[in-house]
Every structure is written in C-alpha cells, then in structure tokens.
C-alpha cells in the first residue's frame, strides 16, 4: 500500500508539472549564473532531505515524493537535466499538495530562492533518477543535521530543533547501547515532557549496523562522551 501511495503521489506531482516542463523547453537552457552543485547538495540536505528521498544526497524523507522515482522515467525517456531543473524550480516556486489525498500538506513557500534555488535545482537535476547512482560516503554530522537537526538541538551540529529533547542534555551519561536504542526504538524510553510516536521508527532499517555505530559514536563525542547512566530517551 505504501508503494502504491508513493506512486500515486509521484504521478500527481508529475502531472501537475507537465505545463511547467513545457515552458522550460520553450524558454531556453543554461540561463543565469553557473550553479554551485556542492552548495546545492548542502542546501538540499538541510532544507529538503527530511521530506524527500534522493539517493545521491543520502536522504530518505517520506513526507514528499521520492525524487529518484519521480524523475526516473523522465530521464529514461531522454529528458535533459535542464528540463528536470525547470520542473524542480516550478514546484519550489509554486508548491502544490503532496498528493490529491493530502491537500493540506504543502512544501513551505520560498524554501530556497534566487541563486540558492538555482544551486539546489541544478543539483537535484544532476542526480535524481540517475541509474546506478550511489549515496555519498556516510558522514554522521551531515546525517544528523539532515535527518535529526530539525527536531533536536545539538550544539556541535549547530542545530536548534525543539520538537524533540535537547540532545546536549538528554544524551549525557548514556551508554552507546542506550543511544543506539533511542535511535532504532525511540518509543522504548520517552523523555518526560515529550510525546511518543513523533520520532521516525525506521532508522533501524535505513541505517546499516556500521552507520548506526558511527552515528552513536558521533553523538557520544558531540555530547562529551558516554557513560553507564540510563533512563534518558528520545
């Protein structure tokens, strides 16, 4: 059912943007300043990755369409990066519902603009739906900023999320095993004052064991080292 829902959402997105793609084809290519793809990747990870899956960026968000799936068929049919870039820009500038069944779920307007939008849309166009593309080398700080920073404060990562606990405080004294459980089974122990069921419960599937180990080590280092204490969850 999830796959069918994702397919329906993607087809809704593509259908809504066919007109935009046609306009892109008529207005020419390679206009404006040369994009900075490295900056585009960083901005995408920070601002878009929590909602969209994009293999090239190493993101696995599910609130919005899977961008690899969304552009796979278009790329196979011969659509150019410029056309895909134009479609992305049109969606960012004029956000539409995530699907016909979710008319209340929109991408925030003005998420990126100007040169930033040029960088992000160019980056997405360079990797979305590319056959055989691999995710980037796993980097715990980047993974945390992309997937966790919107909800948690962590001083070393420069994140200030408040939906979940402040990890500079919540993780102090926790062992590696406790931190690992708080990531893979977040409802096992809930920090007082925070509801259950908010943190995604899929990290145990999306992170490989070595990646989980690296992320736990990073969190321990970022919060001053681990210990044997317990009782603090996410």
Fold of the domain built from segment(s) 2-127 = Cytochrome Bc1 Complex; Chain D, domain 2 (1.10.760)
Q: What is the pLDDT of residue 100?
A: 65
140-222 carries CATH number 1.10.760: yes
Please state, in angstroms and rounded to a whole number, the distance separating the CA atoms of residues 106 and 92. Answer: 10
Looking at 17-26, 75-84, 127-136, which range is the least confident one? 17-26
pLDDT at 7 over 70: no
More confident residue, 96 or 227: 96
3-state DSSP percent of the chain in helix, strand and coil, to 5: 50, 5, 45
Q: What is the pLDDT of residue 233?
A: 42
Question: Considering the chain, what percentage of its residues have pLDDT values greater than 90?
Answer: 51
- The answer to whether residues 144 and 59 touch, using CB atoms and an 8 Å cutoff, is no
pLDDT at 9 over 60: no
Instruction: Judge if 2-127 and 140-222 fold alike in CATH terms.
Output: yes
Residue 16 pairs in a beta bridge with none
Q: How confident is the model at residue 30 (pLDDT cuts 50, 70, 90)?
A: low
Please state, in angstroms and rounded to a whole number, the distance separating the CA atoms of residues 115 and 189. Answer: 43
Q: How confident is the model at residue 20 (pLDDT cuts 50, 70, 90)?
A: very low
Domain ranges of the chain: 2-127, 140-222
């Amino acid at each position: 059912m999830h796959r069918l829902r994702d397919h329906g959402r993607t087809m809704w997105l593509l259908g809504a943007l066919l007109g935009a793609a046609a306009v892109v084809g008529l207005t020419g290519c390679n206009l404006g300043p040369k994009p900075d793809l490295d900056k585009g990747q960083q901005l995408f990870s920070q601002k878009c990755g929590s909602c969209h899956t994009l293999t090239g960026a190493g993101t696995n968000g599910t609130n919005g369409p899977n961008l690899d799936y969304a552009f796979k068929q278009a790329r196979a049919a011969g659509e150019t990066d410029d056309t895909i870039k134009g479609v992305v820009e049109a969606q960012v500038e004029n956000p539409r519902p995530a699907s016909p069944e979710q008319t209340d779920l929109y991408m925030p307007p003005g998420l990126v603009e100007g040169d930033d939008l040029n960088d992000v849309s160019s980056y997405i166009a360079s990797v979305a739906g590319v056959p055989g593309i691999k995710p980037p080398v796993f980097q715990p700080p980047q993974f945390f900023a992309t997937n966790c920073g919107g909800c948690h404060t962590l001083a070393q990562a420069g994140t200030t999320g408040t939906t979940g606990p402040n990890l500079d405080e919540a993780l102090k004294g926790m062992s590696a095993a406790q931190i690992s459980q708080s990531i893979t089974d977040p409802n096992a122990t809930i920090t007082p004052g925070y509801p259950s069921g908010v943190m995604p419960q899929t990290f145990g599937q999306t992170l490989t064991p070595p990646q989980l180990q690296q992320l736990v080590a990073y969190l321990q280092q970022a919060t001053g080292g681990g210990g044997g204490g317990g009782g603090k969850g996410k």
